[in-house]
Chain A
Amino acid sequence: MTIRDVPVAGGTVLELGGRLDAEAGSQLVEQVTALAAQGTHIAIDMRGVPFVNSAGLASLITCLKRAREKRASLRLLSLQPQVQEVFELTQLSHVFGLNQSDDKAA
């Protein structure tokens, strides 16, 4: 798994490439924790991730918690269909606000 750190206006985009499993997940958590500590808003670009297993999902949840603890935002971008499917199955799409419309309280 490769993680490319791209600073953008107002935050950082982490571009991932490869399978997101336990090993890659801990690398990602480390990087997100460091960015969140600086209060940086983070977007994780998942377009290069064809596969996420349970451990990878767990690492993403940890990333989200770390970001929220520091009041930084964390957003997932461009999920491949097979990865989106796992997010739907585990209903993490709800936790990460992937399907969230503006009509939150409707």
Chain B
Amino acid sequence: MNPTTPGAGTTSSTDTEGIFCDAASSEDRLRRSAASRLALVRDPRAVQVLVGLLSDARQSVQEAAAQALRHRGEGAVSEALARLLGSPDLGLRNRAGTVLASLGEVSVPVLIREATAGEAGVRKFTVEIMGEIRSPWVVGTLVKALRDQDLNVAFAAAEALGKFPAPEVAECLISVFREREELRCPLSEALGMQADARAIPLLVEALGAPELLLQFSAVNALGMIGSPAALRPLMDAFHRSPEPLRHAILQSVTRLTEHISPSSAELAQLQAIIPDVLTAAASEEWEIRRAALRILSLCPASDESTAAVAALLGDPIDEIRQLAWRNLERSSADLLPALTAVLKSGPTVGRCLAAELLATHFDHRATPALREMLRESDCRIRAAAARALGQCGGGESVPALEALTADPEPEVRQSAARALGWMRAENSGACLRALLDDEAGEVRESALGALVLISGEQVVQGLREDLQHPRPERRRLAGVALGYIGDETVVEPLLEALAHEDSGIRQSAALSLGRLQDSRAFEPLRARLEDCEPGVRQASVDALIALDLDRAVLALEGRLHDPDPWVRYHVVSALSDRHHEAIPGLLIRALQDPALVVVIAASEALGRLGVEHSAGQLAGLLDRPEPELVRCVIQSLTLLGGEEAKAALLRHEGRQGPRTS
């Protein structure tokens, strides 16, 4: 409850004595409410009552009391709470500490007193609270606490002082670091947080200490300070350290590498440690390889580093492979030597990725190595090499790729087809057309795509012949390919295909001609409106509309009498999102159609197009027995919204009772 909201409980008291009574009530609700209201009560007894409620059995009451004490914020509160710092009830002690910390500088005087005069447990806890307050007034006390005879107090002071970055604090920390060996761990952490370069020699010295925990702390601190002066000592420590520490060292190196600008004088220090990082990149521990890769991604690329990163394309860990890929993808170095080395040997995954990476750079120099890979026994390598050649290769690779279209593995045939298409190998049309008969669907699809990309007279002529092929799938794919090629050269073959005996070919030719928008196709398409196959008639409807809407609207008038209701529905749907003066008339006529789907489509379209003068005809449909039609008509009349539409809707409501939307 908000402490500024008085009397939030419906039966709680509003006078001070009543509130004190409520605070002692056996009802949780009343105690909670009293705690909240005591935030505003001026009576000095309120603080003691609230402090008492901090140890209430109910957490909600404790929280309300803590909130009220924070709200009061006076010195008496901190005095009262300070007395709880030595409480054996740790929960109560912690709640008191939290409130004291949130009171900020108001608490400082009592905390200073407790930090110096209290018993050891209280001093430690007080020092921790001071670290939370972060007031400059506590620094002196914390510095003194560094020399507290109780080690725990001194530990807490070291940790707290890390949060007060200032040169004089760092000096104190450094001085105590020399005096008290047993405190060097927390002091290292604090010095790291201080980010003061004067601490580097001490921390470097700590790297050689026998205690592993101190080494960890020093490594982290050096990373936080972020000076390149720590690079060499860290990498020296790397070689003599056990695995978890090596990982921490590389993390720190990465961290401080991020501060180095490529143009700065510090770059030389970074470059000096690259050989060590390259060694780390070959580590058996994957986390060390990952850290090394991260460092390398921040450094300027060299031949050696590029080779080390390229080798990691074959790493067994996905994450490492991805990092290596991104590193190389962004690299400005010449990748060919390193990637060629990977192409020639190593794990399959690395070789495939190296091929793909070369392909993305369209690097022609990779062609010989890639062609070598076409002879590998592993089909994944042959396929990757074929795809890469499609991007890197020149005409000299075409025979090898054509040969691969007869590979026993579909993945390889598919890749070879893709590659020939990407290369636009104009003489490979026959070879690719043969793949239109391949047993594997993905190979046929790839061959089709390749033929579309190559196009040209030779391919178009071949596909034209394929329209007469005895195998229906090949005829179909040839028709599809001609449609996608989509230039001048395919208009004639597609017009021929419109009269093909195979209705699938006629349908696909009609659709393709619609996309091409060549006016020569209009009359042949109009003739196809009389095709014996409904699918061809529908495709012709779409094509004519795409080709020339003015002429199509006239031509489609007769299709409203098509014997197939789905063709009539298709005409209405196709016209319903077009704008032409003759379309409303056609749609109104379609309202008389014997097929319900057509009438529904027409009435929806009239509402959507806002054909106000159709309201009368639409209103006539409200008496029809089909509920789905009536719903649709109501919707259209509502959209039209003119006088006639409104009157029709009112009449209908009068007959039916109020309509529900």
Contact = CB atoms under 8 A, between A and B. Distances in A.
A61 B359 CA distance: 13
B332 A71 contact: yes
B362 to A, nearest CB: 5
A62 B7 CA distance: 78
A105 B487 contact: no
Nearest to A22: B487
A79 to B, nearest CB: 15
Contacts of B453: 54, 57-58, 61, 90, 92
A89 B418 contact: no
Interface in B440-457: 445-446, 448-450, 452-455
Nearest to A67: B362
A54 B455 contact: yes
Contact of B484 (A21, A54, A61, A106): A54
A51 B484 CA distance: 10
Q: Provide the main secondary structure of the chain A interface.
A: helix
Contacts of B326: 104
B421 interface: yes
Interface string A16-52: 0000011000000000000000000000000000011
Contacts, number: 79
A66 B452 CA distance: 22
A90 B325 contact: no
Contacts of A69: 362
A90 B362 contact: no
A80 interface: no
Contact of B318 (A21, A51, A71, A106): A106
A77 interface: no
B432 to A, nearest CB: 12
**Which one of B450, B452, B454 has the greatest number of beta carbons of chain A within 10 Å?**
B452
A51 B515 contact: yes
B136 to A, nearest CB: 43
B240 to A, nearest CB: 33
Nearest to A86: B484
Nearest to B419: A91
Nearest to B423: A61
A53 interface: yes
A90 B332 contact: no
**Which one of A53, A54, A55 has the greatest number of beta carbons of chain B within 10 Å?**
A54
Contact of B324 (A57, A68, A82, A105): A105
A90 B486 contact: no
B449 A68 contact: no
Contacts of A105: 313, 318, 321-322, 324-325, 349, 353
Contacts of B445: 89
Interface residues of A, number: 29
A55 B455 contact: yes
A71 B452 CA distance: 28
Contacts of A82: 515
Interface in A55-105: 55, 57-58, 61, 64-65, 68-69, 71, 82, 86, 89-92, 94-95, 97, 102-105
A61 to B, nearest CB: 7
B518 to A, nearest CB: 12
Contacts of B313: 105
Contacts of B321: 105-106
Given A51-B515, A54-B485, A58-B453, A91 B362 contact: no
B159 to A, nearest CB: 39
B322 A89 contact: no
**Which one of A61, A65, A97 has the greatest number of beta carbons of chain B within 10 Å?**
A61
Nearest to B422: A95
A68 B332 contact: no
A106 B324 CA distance: 12
A58 B424 contact: yes
Nearest to B485: A54
A61 B486 contact: no
Contacts of B422: 61, 91-92, 95
**Which one of B329, B349, B449, B515 has the greatest number of beta carbons of chain A within 10 Å?**
B449
Contacts of A71: 332
Interface string B417-440: 010011010000000000000000
Contacts of B332: 71
Given A68-B362, A105-B313, A106-B322, A53 B486 contact: yes
Given A54-B487, A69-B362, A105-B313, A89 B452 contact: yes
B361 interface: yes
B318 to A, nearest CB: 5
Contacts of B449: 89-91
A106 to B, nearest CB: 5
B107 interface: no
A21 B322 contact: no
B391 interface: yes
Interface string B213-252: 0000000000000000000000000000000000000000
B356 to A, nearest CB: 8
A58 to B, nearest CB: 6
A102 B319 CA distance: 11
A90 B485 CA distance: 11
Nearest to A55: B487
B452 A90 contact: yes
Contacts of B322: 102-106
A97 B325 CA distance: 14
Contacts of A21: 486-487
A85 to B, nearest CB: 9
A50 to B, nearest CB: 9
Contacts of B485: 53-54
Nearest to A64: B362
28 contacts: A21-B486, A53-B455, A54-B452, A54-B454, A54-B484, A54-B485, A54-B486, A58-B424, A58-B453, A64-B362, A68-B360, A68-B362, A71-B332, A82-B515, A86-B452, A89-B452, A89-B484, A90-B449, A90-B450, A91-B421, A91-B446, A92-B422, A103-B322, A104-B325, A104-B326, A105-B349, A106-B321, A106-B322
Interface of A: 21-22, 51-55, 57-58, 61, 64-65, 68-69, 71, 82, 86, 89-92, 94-95, 97, 102-106
Q: Which 7 A-B pairs have the closest CB atoms?
A: A53-B486, A105-B321, A54-B455, A90-B449, A105-B325, A105-B322, A89-B449
Given A51-B515, A55-B487, A90-B449, 17 more contacts: A53-B486, A53-B487, A54-B452, A54-B455, A58-B453, A68-B360, A68-B362, A82-B515, A89-B448, A89-B452, A90-B421, A90-B452, A91-B446, A104-B325, A105-B318, A105-B349, A105-B353
Interface of B: 313, 318, 321-322, 324-326, 329, 332, 349, 353, 360-362, 391, 418, 421-422, 424, 445-446, 448-450, 452-455, 484-487, 515
